[in-house]
Amino acid sequence: MSLIGGIRPPIAVLSALLLTLATVTALVLGRVDNAGVPKAVLTSQQHFAEDGAIALRASVDESVTDVTRSAALFSAGQPVSGDAVLDKLGSTYQKWMGTAVVEIRTGKLLAARGETVPLTDVDTSSLSGAGGLDPRMVRLKNGEVRLLSFGLLSWPGKPQLLLVASRNLKFPGISLGQFRSIAVVDAGGAVLSSDGIADPESARNSVDRKDIKESREQLKDFAERAARQAKQDPRSSKEPGAGGYQGVSGGLLGGKLLGDRSVAGYATLASPDPGEATTASGLGLSVVAMVKVTEESARAQSPVFGLLAGGALLVVGALAVAVLLGTVQRPLIRLFLESRRLTRGDLTRPVTVPRYGEAHRIGTALERLRRQLLGEPADPAPAPSPRGVRRVGTRALLAGCAVLLLAWSVPLMLLFDRADGTAEIPRQLVNDQRERTDTISDRVRRALNEGHADLQSVASLIGDRTATEDMDRVLERTYNENQRYRSLYVVDAHGAVQAREGNEPQVVQDKRVSTTPIRLLGHGGKRPVVVAAAEIPGRHGAQLVGEFRVEFLNALLTRPGLGVVRLVDDKRGIIAGNTGFLAFRSLPDEHLRDLAAASSQRLGKNPRPSGVLYREGGTRIAAAAPFSGSGAAEALGWTVVSWQPVDRLAIPEYDSQNRTVLAGLLGAAAAVACLGWTHMVVARPLRTLADRSEALAGGDRKTVLFPQHHDEVGAVTRSLELVRQQLQDQRRQQPRRTAPESGPYPPQQYTRT
């Protein structure tokens, strides 16, 4: 017999699968995690730390790029003094704590702005070597850390100057909310900077002072643990194919105090593209975000549901297997034995005919063939078809077994252990959705402001240059260094394009120039056009215009763990998103539209974003955060809206529901697979064999019977073929009728001539 064919393997596999599933169901279903802090909360803190790492990495890289690009643009023009360089830099960017210009050869300080730049920790003689202009971190005497960025100012015939910019390691635009702190950690686990934790001396009483000290100690513990985790390879820190954040990230569970437990997320500064390195990612820094959550009381485990479900599956499975054994396997094996007996010549006993379906038809045909082997003539008339219960075939029996098993599986998939409307959603998840949405909103606003500031810097350096070659050179350098623009071009006061770099402009100037620094165009089209413009001094109203890439805005909105994210304008039309969208269409739900409108309308009174838990039409978390802050992008009135269903989050009730649905799916899959297997290898060949056996018993001696598989049905087919051959031999051995000796005509006589 074949190892994968026949009636025995599918029934045996079905029995093993049902027994295993019943055991797992009894042990798993109905049990609720007693950790107190759902896994979804830990995952949310991990995503929060990743947002902080992305914001810090982008800010550091942008700061370094601005210094080097500004120095290169200054070097491309006429020589200017150090004070002029710092004044122009300060009027364009407001991101550095202090700036300075130093003569490299002598180390003389030529100009300075802001706080004192720690130049004593910089060896100017080493700046000419490989990597000499790479940023470096310097710790001040008060314990604070500054990141120094360098740019080289070089003019022909002039001594080389060094542009130095100093900045702290604070997080730009991270919305912390309440009871949360975030810190920057070096490779050794030391906290370089932190936000959200007050000074213990500023506490009003001893209780608050003690709580602040404990928070600081907990943050230090998290920082040390995160530094140890950050040393591993990012490719081995997550499951293969998991994707997501490019660096090392995860969640940490802290101690418990008065019903509150500290949880944290950590993430290393990593490049946005795999296999590439940036300035910030090479500093070896990590971000730790900590928050205190109220620990839920341990839920009592209830294994009754799992035991009942497992026991019901044992009963249903035993009944289905018994039906298969009694009505399919046993009659088929009996036919196999009876057919072999006939081929061996044992014709004394009548054939034991099964009671049901195809097996009954084949057994009846074997009995007719036995009598024919004994000398009875073949009966061409078909045998009477079975009536009543005997008409039930193998397919009907398999369908009955499938109904039994699906009667257990389908209720588990659709009815039992439903969590919709009853699950307890941690408030921390709603807060995290709101704060992360606010962080993304600030991130988009800052990116637009940075783009406009870049255009202002480039426009001031273009100045009154009239040569098209000079403008093309500046535009080409700016376009290649910035991935945010799809097109850069210079237009005069009448809207005529004088120089261009990148794609064709999508804006129709119509012989006029707008004074709005950032605006949205393309209404009614298929693609939104976000345009920033900066006036070029000394060019009589000429402007430098940059069109932002929509893909650049979409990338800013793409963050895991937030669900669907949309950027909408002041008219609630969608202009960017982390998934596919139709430009300028409204939000897909009335609740979301009302949430976005409410957040924008109360911006003047309360700039905090909004977060809501909706239970109508499926439980989901939604948040909206309007642009809030300074810069040219604030006047746009745009809002970032995000939402996601909670059934995709690792919440205990939904985990229990998912396990119940999985048990039902596994039961249905086992039933369909094994019963379908039985139908293909047994039921269909058996039905064909029944037709051929009846034809053979009716006198068809010419049709050869070929077995399709080497199993019980194939063995019965081979036996019937042997019986057919015996009947043919028996027919040949019968005496033939003799022809007459002479006919009506005498035989012809032939003579040789």
| Per-residue pLDDT tens digits for 561-611 | 889 999 998 888 899 998 888 888 999 888 888 888 888 775 455 556 888
Range from 2-6, 45-49, 599-603 that averages highest in pLDDT: 45-49
CA distances from 277 to 171, 247, 249, 551 (A): 20, 11, 17, 21
Q: Which of 268-282, 461-475, 516-530, 679-693 has the lowest mean pLDDT?
A: 461-475
User: Quick one: tokens of 182?
Assistant: 């975030």
User: What is the average pLDDT across 531-537?
Assistant: 87
Distances 732 to 373, 378, 699, 726 between C-alpha atoms, Å: 13, 15, 15, 10
Whole-angstrom distance between the N-terminal and C-terminal Cα of the chain? 72
pLDDT at position 169, please?
85
Sole residue written with tokens 């399919």: 328
Neighbouring C-alpha atoms within 13 Å toward the C-beta of 289:
33
Burial grade of 140 (CB within 10 A; 0-12, 13-18, 19 or more): middle
Do β-strands 191-195 and 180-185 pair in parallel, antiparallel, or remain unpaired? Answer: antiparallel
* Strand arrangement, sheet containing 109-114: 109-114, 98-103, 161-167, 145-153, 136-139
The per-residue pLDDT for range 321-331, each reduced to its tens digit, is 998 888 888 88
pLDDT per position as a tens digit, 643-677 = 999 888 888 888 888 888 999 999 999 999 999 98
Tell me which of 541 and 40 has the higher pLDDT. Answer: 40
- Tell me: the pLDDT tens digits for 77-120? 788 888 888 888 887 777 888 899 988 888 888 899 888 888 87
Q: In what order do the strands lie in the sheet with 620-626?
A: 574-577, 564-568, 639-645, 620-626, 610-614
Query: What is the C-alpha separation between 626 and 114, in angstroms, rounded?
Result: 31
Q: What percent of the chain has pLDDT over 90?
A: 11
What is the pLDDT, as a whole number, of residue 216?
83
pLDDT band at 29 (very low <50, low <70, confident <90, very high): confident
More confident residue, 500 or 1: 500
Tell me: pLDDT of 219 over 60. yes
- SS3 category, 134: coil
Evaluate whether 284 touches 177 at the Cβ level (below 8 Å). no
Residue type at 578 in one-letter notation? N
Query: What pLDDT digit, counting tens, does each position of 552-567 carry?
Result: 999 889 888 889 999 9
Secondary structure (3-state) at 110: strand
Two tokens, residue 742: 């002479």
Give the C-alpha separation, 151 to 159, whole Å. Answer: 14
Q: Would the pLDDT of 195 be above 50?
A: yes
State pLDDT tens for residues 332-343.
Answer: 888 888 888 888
How far apart (Å, rounded) are the C-alpha atoms in residues 723 and 751? Answer: 53
When mean pLDDT is compared over 292-306, 320-334, 694-708, the highest value belongs to: 320-334
Instruction: Give the CA radius of gyration of the chain.
Output: 41
Residues 6+ apart with CB under 8 A from 350: 367, 370
The count of other CB atoms within 10 Å of the CB of residue 256 is 13
SS3 of 2-48: CCCCCCHHHHHHHHHHHHHHHHHHHHHCCCCCCCCCCHHHHHHHHHH
In single-letter form, the type of residue at position 713 comes to V
Mean pLDDT to the nearest integer, 683-694: 84
Question: Quick check: 487 and 473 in contact, CB under 8 A?
Answer: no
Instruction: Check whether 130 has a pLDDT greater than 70.
Output: no
Q: Which long-range contacts link 267-273 to residues 24+ away (Cβ below 8 Å)?
A: 267/46, 267/49, 267/50, 267/52, 267/53, 268/53, 268/230, 268/234, 269/53, 269/56, 269/57, 269/60, 270/53, 270/57, 270/234, 270/245, 270/246, 271/57, 271/246, 272/54, 272/246, 272/555, 273/246
* Burial environment of residue 581 by CB neighbours within 10 A (0 to 12, 13 to 18, 19 or more): middle
pLDDT for residue 623: 92
Residue with tokens 């009636």: 7
Contact 322, 314 (CB under 8 A): no
